[in-house]
Amino acid sequence: GCSPVGVLCEIVNDKDGSMARLPDLIEFCKQHNLVLTSIADLVRYRRSSEKLVQRVGDAPARLPTRYGVFDAYAYRSVLDDNEHLALVLGGPFNGQEEPVLVRVHSECCTGDVFGSLRCDCGPQLDFAMKSIAKKGRGVLVYLRGQEGRGIGLAHKMRAYALQDMGRDTVQANQDLGLPVDSREYGVGAQILADLGVADMELMTNNPAKYSGLSGYGLSIKNRVRVEVSANPENEKYLRTKREKMGHWLGVPPNASDTDFANGQHIPGGDSAVGAVVPINGSDALSDLHMSGAESTVGTVAPTNGSDPLPDTKPTS
């Protein structure tokens, strides 16, 4: 019969009266048999249980690009007012049985706009748009507000300055007191669902993106590996993503897609998945060309580890 109430308080450490941080709170909850949650948990729950993106306008805009002509759909997040874009070829997808080729791409101003060689974002975006255009059917979801794996453009420059002094991309974020990767993909999943995508072939090297897009009525049938060669400016960055963040980049021989940092398992049979998308070798991306034979822009990602990724090496 009591009215529901909420209490806001700050937990302090018994020893010195300092504010309890997450490790302290985890121990406190274990000791007192309490449930621990966070604002991030609440945001994830809302994104999985509520429709939190709105399509802006009814009809798509025609967007001619150097890769082909796409239908462009604009979306707005009701949580943070960020605006996102979906580029579509071959839609609508409602009721279609064939999996849709999909890339969910995080905004990267430095790589996508200015062609920075410090990351592999620009070449990955080129790879995705070429692959969708070649197939004539697919979706590129461009998520804004995810610059620098979610830390923003200004903090990204601060992190770059630390990397110039020898820190890697993970250490630099940690030195600044920032998350290594704060992105989540519920908004991207809701955009895909709104476009009628049910089954997809996902272009990604990121296991967090793979697991983050599962659910929401979506099924990832295949993973298409997005492989770009390193250059002297980003070789350390790519190795750090592989070794510290579990990205599928040049994994050691005899490793498989199931051998990554967070222990997620890729569903599927023992046969190879994905599809090889051939292009003319002249389409190689100048200094950052696609790895492997120049006759392909993508490679098939197996589930049984029979086709290990080569070591990431700088281009000549």
Report the catalytic residues: 181, 183
Length of the chain: 316
Residue 101's alpha-carbon distances to 88, 138, 282, 290, in angstroms, are: 10, 5, 23, 18
Give the chain's end-to-end CA distance (angstroms, integer).
74
Segment (H or E) for 177: none
Helix residue ranges per DSSP H, the chain: 22-32, 39-49, 121-135, 147-150, 153-164, 169-175, 186-194, 207-212, 235-245
Closest CA to 80 of 150, 131, 133: 150
Cβ atoms within 10 Å of 8's Cβ, excluding its own: 4
Please report how many Cα atoms fall inside a 13 Å half-sphere around the Cα of residue 231, on the Cβ side: 15
CA–chain centroid gap for 277, Å, is 21
Closest CA to 133 of 208, 75, 63: 63
**102 contacts: CB under 8 Å, gap ≥ 6:** 138, 139, 140, 141, 192, 197, 200, 201, 202, 203
Percent of the chain as helix, strand, coil, to the nearest 5:
30, 20, 50
Closest CA to 241 of 142, 296, 185, 173: 173
Helix residue ranges per DSSP H, 217-315: 235-245
